[in-house]
A and B are shown apart, each in its own frame.
Chain A
Amino acid sequence: MATITPDITEERLLRPRRAAKDKYIRVGSQKVLPRVILIIMCLGFILPFYWMAALGLKSNEELSLYPPTLYPHNPIWSNIREATEVFPFWRFAWNTTIITVLTTVGSIISNPIIAYGFSRIEWPGRDKVFMVVLATVFVPFPVLIVALFDIFAQLNWINTWWPLVVPLFFGQAFWIFLMRQFLMQIPKDLSDAARIDGANEFQIFWQIIMPQTLPAVGAIAIFAGVSAWNDFLGPLIYLQDSSKYTLSIGLTFFQQQDSYDVQYNLLMAASALIVLPLIVMFLLFQKSFIEGISVGSIK
């Protein structure tokens, strides 16, 4: 039921009454039904956000009411400040920010260099090695956690940010793939012309090709930043000292305090604070997000 432009040959082929009936079907399948589906789904997708906001603003008294109120009758804006006091919110936000910045820097340095070697230079065996890169996408990270923990423990890296940051400086299969797709679209003549002019490969990489790849580098920066901000299993395994924790670990403090009386309003207020930068990023860079997803996965 993809877009079908009404064309005259079709109308002429059909008898008038059938054409009228077909028009109903077409309007129904192109305008009405998709709208109904999309609006229902969108309401379902907004509901969790709504509930996070509604719960986050409820007072403790309103929270204990049964049946629950559907919106905060008396919004308590100070919940937002209180939520940042259940755990050292700003300290953890700062930690998360540093980790995010470092992993993003690592990703935008390493992935373009590696992808360049897999796309703009012809060398024997290149595409076979690239198949190995692709295969590594399917190694589930949890398979590695025991060994990585022990290896990092031997390096005295446990309870530091190194295990979360350093691996990103060596490239990530999916982002290498994404960058390579982008680099292959740049005409070969561009490199050849520069070679004839006497430029070496590093000059070509840095001065000719890199300036062309800024949209892809931007997409990688965004994806790397988001996945660092969103990481949970990594910090959970590697960090043990609350001065090093990230926001993802911070949220679990709500459950540890008193498992029978979790302050859900403050938990949701804190969640909203964590999610908010992502929503802002998303609205600002939506195009990069969508292009990154679509480019990376079709071919």
Chain B
Amino acid sequence: MTRTERKNLWLGLLFISPWIIGFLAFLVYPIWYTVELSFTRYGGFGVPEWIGLDNYTRMLDDRLFWISVWNTVYYTGLAVPIGVVVAMVLALAMNQPLPEIPIYRAILFLPSVLPLFAVSFIFLTLLDPNDGIVNELLRRIGFSPPNWFGDPDYAKIGIVAIAQFGAGQIALVFLAGLKGIPQHLYEAAMLDGAGPIRRFFSVTLPLLTPIILYDIILGISLGMQVFTQSYIITQGGPAQSTTFYVYYLYDNAFTYGGQMGYASAMAVVLFLFTFIIAGLVFVTSKRWVHYDLS
């Protein structure tokens, strides 16, 4: 290593040192500590009591744990594909030469910057079975609308709808991707006689696959963290249909009290699960994601 290289190494480390400290203090150490706590019985006071793998074996028999896993997988499995389609449709529509696009863009993007807690309260009133405007409008045109957050079959769908309220943000990412597709590819496809549908599936879609991958991984990560909506709107109900993983984890750690060891074990499982799923999506993505234009 030359003198300049060594000097640059020290300079570089000096500039990134805040990140190194934060990374160790607020990420590496807490994860390590979570793993430690997961082998203990701990109520938040005194000394954690070592109980080995008991927290993990307890999960296997904990019915509510499995319900929370199922609810979270169900929610994520529904919200992610719907989110990709909604965002893509919005982006395709916004990519057309219409003079009023900035207005649509502002309206569609604005909800993404609003706090989820406030949006949850708004949807609580919006989808109220009797007093909400959605059901009132549905009744006026002759439907018998569902009970939404009061019905175990519809509560998760209501929360999926809330997620779509934030679709404008990812739609903008798709839109930027669409703008980056070179025109000559479409012209070449047209000369080959490809119609609009064929052009979409042969040119647009393959070139958007990196963004779709990004959206899927982000969506899975967010889907597995779903908490606020359930905390505010349904408190895990009705009939535990919105007891999501993080909601149950939170309840164990902070509501029931004395379950911080168990909550830590749940956190470890969530951490591993997130990385396995993200890794799986990433590995299989090599089959369907196109990074170059060839």
Distance of A48 Cα from B127 Cα, bound (Å): 10
Distance of A34 Cα from B106 Cα, bound (Å): 16
Distance of A113 Cα from B16 Cα, bound (Å): 7
- Place the interface of chain B in its size category: 35 or more
Provide the residues of chain A in CB contact with B103, threshold 8 Å.
42
Provide the residues of chain A in CB contact with B142, threshold 8 Å.
none
Determine whether the beta carbon of A201 is less than 8 Å from that of B11: yes
Q: Does A232 contact B (CB under 8 A)?
A: yes
Distance of A133 Cα from B28 Cα, bound (Å): 12
Q: Does A252 contact B (CB under 8 A)?
A: yes
Provide the residues of chain A in CB contact with B126, threshold 8 Å.
47-48, 51
Q: Does B157 contact A (CB under 8 A)?
A: no
B65-87 vs A, CB cutoff 8 Å, 1 = contact: the mask equals 00000000000000000000000
Q: Does B154 contact A (CB under 8 A)?
A: no
Q: Does A131 contact B (CB under 8 A)?
A: no
Residues of A within 8 A of B (CB-CB), count: 102
Specify which of B5, B18, B173, B183 lies most central, judged by the most chain A CB atoms within 10 Å of its CB. Answer: B18
Contact A117:B16 (CB < 8 A) given known A2-B181, A29-B196, A55-B125: yes
By beta carbon, the residue of chain A nearest B228 is A232
By beta carbon, the residue of chain A nearest B25 is A170
| Stretch of A64-72, A86-94, A213-221 with 4 or more beta carbons under 8 angstroms from chain B | A64-72
A45-68 vs B, CB cutoff 8 Å, 1 = contact: the mask equals 111111110110000000100111
Contact A121:B12 (CB < 8 A) given known A142-B225, A143-B267, A151-B30: yes
Q: Does A192 contact B (CB under 8 A)?
A: no
Determine whether the beta carbon of A147 is less than 8 Å from that of B214: no
Q: Does B50 contact A (CB under 8 A)?
A: no
Contact A42:B115 (CB < 8 A) given known A169-B18, A298-B173: no
Determine whether the beta carbon of A147 is less than 8 Å from that of B250: no
Distance of A171 Cα from B106 Cα, bound (Å): 29
Q: Does A98 contact B (CB under 8 A)?
A: no
Out of A122, A171, A230, which one reaches B116, CB within 8 Å?
A230
By beta carbon, the residue of chain B nearest A48 is B122
Out of B93, B118, B131, B246, which one reaches A37, CB within 8 Å?
B93
Provide the residues of chain B in CB contact with A236, threshold 8 Å.
231
Provide the residues of chain B in CB contact with A145, threshold 8 Å.
249-250, 253, 267
Q: Does A97 contact B (CB under 8 A)?
A: no
Contact A1:B199 (CB < 8 A) given known A117-B14, A271-B118: yes
Determine whether the beta carbon of A25 is less than 8 Å from that of B131: no
Provide the residues of chain B in CB contact with A294, threshold 8 Å.
172-173, 175-176
Distance of A281 Cα from B173 Cα, bound (Å): 21
Separation in Å of the B254 CB from the closest CB of chain A? 7
Name 25 A/B residue pairs within 8 A (Cβ), A-sorted: A1-B196, A30-B96, A35-B98, A41-B90, A41-B104, A46-B107, A48-B119, A48-B122, A48-B126, A66-B131, A68-B131, A113-B15, A122-B8, A145-B249, A153-B44, A233-B227, A251-B121, A252-B232, A267-B121, A268-B121, A271-B122, A274-B118, A278-B113, A298-B176, A298-B211
Beyond the given A142-B246, A275-B114, please list 7 additional residue pairs across the A-B interface where CB-CB is below 8 A.
A2-B95, A13-B191, A25-B196, A66-B131, A117-B11, A118-B12, A147-B30
Closest 10 CB pairs of A and B: A170-B22, A117-B15, A230-B115, A123-B12, A34-B93, A117-B16, A147-B30, A294-B176, A147-B33, A34-B96
**Residues on A close to B: CB < 8 A?**
1-5, 7, 9-10, 13, 25, 29-31, 33-35, 37-38, 41-42, 45-52, 54-55, 63, 66-68, 70, 110, 113-114, 116-118, 121-124, 126, 129, 132-133, 136, 138-151, 153, 167, 169-171, 176, 201, 205, 226, 229-233, 236-237, 248, 251-252, 255, 264, 267-268, 271, 274-275, 278-279, 281-283, 286, 289-290, 293-294, 297-298
**Residues on B close to A: CB < 8 A?**
1, 5, 8-9, 11-16, 18-19, 21-23, 25-27, 29-31, 33-34, 37, 44, 89-90, 92-98, 103-111, 113-119, 121-123, 125-126, 128, 130-134, 136-137, 139, 165, 168-169, 172-173, 175-178, 180-181, 183, 186-187, 190-191, 196, 199-200, 204, 211, 214, 217, 221, 224-225, 227-228, 231-232, 246, 249-250, 253-254, 260, 263-264, 267-268, 270-271, 274-275, 278
